[in-house]
Amino acid sequence: MLKLAKDRADYYRKMWEIGVYTVNELRELEGLNPILDAEGGNLRFKPVNIMGLTEKLPDPSAKLDAKPGDAKETDETNPRGLAEILGERSNGFAA
Cβ atoms of 28 and 34 closer than 8 Å:
yes
Rg (CA), the chain: 18
- Mean per-residue pLDDT over the chain, rounded: 74
**Average pLDDT, stretch 32-52?**
82
- Of 22-26, 41-45, 73-77, the range with the highest mean pLDDT is 22-26
Q: How many Å apart are CA 95 and CA 84, to the nearest integer? A: 10
How sure is the predictor about 94, in pLDDT bands with cuts at 50, 70 and 90?
A: very low
Closest CA to 50 of 82, 83, 17: 17
pLDDT of residue 37 exceeding 60, the answer is yes
- Record the pTM: 0.50
Sequential DSSP letters for 1-52: -HHHHHHHHHHHHHHHHTTSS-HHHHHHHTTPPPPPGGGTTT-----TT---
